[in-house]
Amino acid sequence: MGDQSGKQITVFTWVSALVFVALLVLCVPLFIRMPLATDVVFYDLQAETALKGGTLYKDIFETNMPGIIWLHMLIRPLIGMSSDALRIVDLLIFSGSVLLLMCWDRRNQNSVSVMLWIGITLFAFYFSLSEWCHFQRDTLILLPALTALWLRRKQVERILENQQAVSETAQPSVWGWAFLEGLCWATAFWIKPFVAVPALCVWFGSWFLMRQPRKLLVDLSGLLLGGLVLGAVGIIWLWQTGAWPWFYETFTEWNPEYVESRKTGWNTMRFAQFLYRFFPWFLLQLIAVPLALSTVWQCGKQWKQRRSTMQTGQRDSLLLSLMYLGWLFQSYAFQHLFDYVHPPSHLLAIVLTGSYLARRVQIKPLNLVWKTGMVLFVSMVVLSFPNFKPDRIRLWQTCVFHSSDLQLKAKLALMVQVDWEDLAAVRDYLESQNLKDHELHCYNTTLIYLYPELSIAPATRFVFFDSTLIFCPSHREEILESVKTSPQKMIVTDLLESGFDRKTALAISQNSDQLTPPAYPVSLKGAYPWSQPVVFRAGRYLVHQVNRPLGDIFGRGFIPTEEQVQAFARRQKSKQEKRDSVPTPGK
Q: Band of the pLDDT at 578, cuts 50, 70, 90?
A: confident
**Listed range (38-52, 80-94, 167-181, 510-524) with the worst mean pLDDT:** 167-181
Q: 537 pairs with which residues across the strands?
A: 542
Q: Is the per-residue pLDDT at 5 higher than 50? A: no
Mean pLDDT estimate for the chain:
88
Check residue 187 and give its pLDDT: 97
Q: Is the pLDDT assigned to residue 133 strictly greater than 80?
A: yes
At 336, is the pLDDT very low, low, confident or very high (cuts 50, 70, 90)? confident
Instruction: Identify the residue with better confidence: 415 or 227.
Output: 227
> Phi and psi dihedrals of 492, rounded to 5?
-115, 130
* pLDDT at residue 346 tops 80: yes
- How many CB atoms sit inside 10 A of residue 23's CB? 18
Task: Give the per-residue pLDDT at 164.
Answer: 46
499 Rama sector, left if φ>0, alpha if ψ -120 to 50, beta otherwise: left
Q: What is the DSSP letter of 536?
A: E
pLDDT at 171: 65
Report whether pLDDT(304) > 90.
no
**pLDDT class for 305, splitting at 50, 70, 90?**
low
- What pLDDT is attached to residue 519? 86
| pLDDT the model gives residue 289 | 96
Amino acid at 456: I
Q: How confident is the model at residue 330 (pLDDT cuts 50, 70, 90)?
A: very high
Asked if pLDDT for residue 424 goes beyond 60, the answer is yes
Q: What is the pLDDT of residue 551?
A: 78
Q: How confident is the model at residue 560 (pLDDT cuts 50, 70, 90)?
A: confident
Helices (H), 162-282: 170-191, 196-210, 213-240, 244-249, 255-262, 268-277
552-553/541-545 β-pairing: unpaired
Residue 250 CB: number of other CB atoms within 10 A? 19
Cα separation, 57 vs 469, in Å, equals: 16
Higher pLDDT, 555 or 300: 300
- Write down the pLDDT at residue 406: 80
Per-residue model confidence as pLDDT tens digits over 430-487: 999 999 999 999 999 999 999 999 999 999 999 999 888 888 888 888 888 898 899 9
Q: Provide Rg for the chain, Cα atoms.
A: 28
DSSP states of 13-82 as a string?
Answer: HHHHHHHHHHHHHHHHHHHHTSPPPHHHHHHHHHHHHHHTT--BTTTB---S-THHHHHHHHHHHHH-S-
Q: Report whether pLDDT(418) > 50.
A: yes
Question: Is 582's pLDDT higher than 90?
Answer: no
pLDDT of residue 430: 96
Residues 75-84: what's their mean pLDDT? 94
- 11's CB contacts (< 8 A; 6+ apart) are none
Is it the case that residue 46 has pLDDT exceeding 90? yes
More confident position, 565 or 352? 352
User: Per-residue confidence at 1, pLDDT binned at 50, 70, 90?
Assistant: very low
What pLDDT is attached to residue 238? 96
- Say what the pLDDT of residue 193 is: 95
At residue 307, does pLDDT exceed 60? no
Q: Quick one: which H or E segment has residue 553?
A: strand 552-553
Pairwise CA distance, residues 519 & 526, whole Å? 18
Q: Examine residue 529 and say whether the peptide bond preceding it is cis (omega within 30 degrees of 0).
A: yes
- Alpha-carbon distance of 275 to 576, in angstroms, equals 51
- Please tell me the least confidently modeled range out of 186-200, 207-221, 502-516: 207-221
**Which letter, b or e, does each residue of 137-162 get, where b requires 16 or more Cβ atoms within 10 Å of its Cβ?**
bbbbbbbbbbbbbebbbebbebbbee
Q: What is the mean pLDDT of residues 561-586?
A: 68
Name the amino acid, one letter, at 100.
L
| pLDDT band (50, 70, 90) for residue 576 | low
* Contacts with 160 (C-beta within 8 Å, 6 or more apart), sequence order: 209, 210, 309
**CA torsion, ordered 77, 79, 83, 84, to nearest 10 deg:** 180
Torsion of CA 36, 39, 42, 43, to 10 degrees: -90
Average pLDDT (147-166) is: 79
- The model's confidence at residue 169, banded by pLDDT at 50, 70 and 90, is very low
Q: What is the pLDDT of residue 163?
A: 55
Q: Which pLDDT score, from 0 to 100, does residue 491 have?
A: 96
Q: What is the pLDDT of residue 334?
A: 87
Look at residue 10 in the predicted model and tell me its pLDDT. Answer: 78
What's the predicted TM-score (pTM) here?
Answer: 0.90
SS3 of 583, please? coil
